[in-house]
Amino acid sequence: MASSSTDPAGTELVPTPVKIIIAGGFGAGKTTMVGSVSEIPPLTTEEVLTEASAGVDDLSGVERKTTTTVALDFGRITISPRHVLYLFGTPGQARFWFMWDDLARGAIGTIVLVDTRRLETSFAAIDFFERRKIPFVVAVNCFDNAPRYTTDEVREALVIPDRVPIVMCDARDRDSSKLALIRLVKHAMTVVPARV
């Protein structure tokens, strides 16, 4: 349960919930990011990859991945006495994309995690949020031994408009993930200030 505080009049303040989506391609680090910043043990729906997914899930570039999110990830982080972020990580495989509409409903914005080893897996998420006019930032998850590119190179490769922020991050690192979330919240406030 989110903590509450009292205002100067002694009335208990209940924090306003703010819904954030963490999206991206299969293996981009969504579950890892939610887990790295959540102040509660995150809810995950990770399942072991089985032989049944052979030929269905493209593991090129992420061959060592052994689990996958089949529904969602959920975490929470209190950013002030007045606001609590509720984080929802999307499943990455195309066969679970039917859930994205429900997960995105009511969100103020999205972090689209990008893996430079598999840039092509980012287009679907970017297109999804652009079409729905949901503010998003692109967060390049800097995996060990992954190709390194400048933000301008990533912007050009993914055809990202100048108005969309691009940040470099390490989804395993709490501070790095928090900075990406802060950048998203600031961006969302400039795009739709009445919603935050």
pLDDT tens digits, 147-194? 899 999 999 999 999 999 999 999 999 999 999 999 999 999 888 654
Per-residue pLDDT band at 93 (split at 50, 70, 90): low
In whole angstroms, what is the distance from residue 65 CA to residue 38 CA? 22
Element (H, E) at 76: strand 73-80
Answer whether 34's CB lies under 8 Å from 42's CB: yes
DSSP character for 39?
Answer: S
What span, in angstroms and rounded, lies between the C-alpha atoms of 42 and 30?
12
Question: H/E element holding 129?
Answer: helix 123-131
Predicted pLDDT of residue 47: 57
∠ CA 105-181-158, nearest 5°, is: 80
The per-residue pLDDT of the chain, averaged, comes to 83
Beta bridge partners of 84: 17, 78
Mean pLDDT of the 72-86 span: 89
* Average pLDDT over every residue of 18-38: 92
For range 129-145, the mean pLDDT: 93
pLDDT of 178 reads: 94
Our measurement of the distance from residue 70's CA atom to the centroid of its chain's CA atoms, rounded to an integer in Å, reads 15
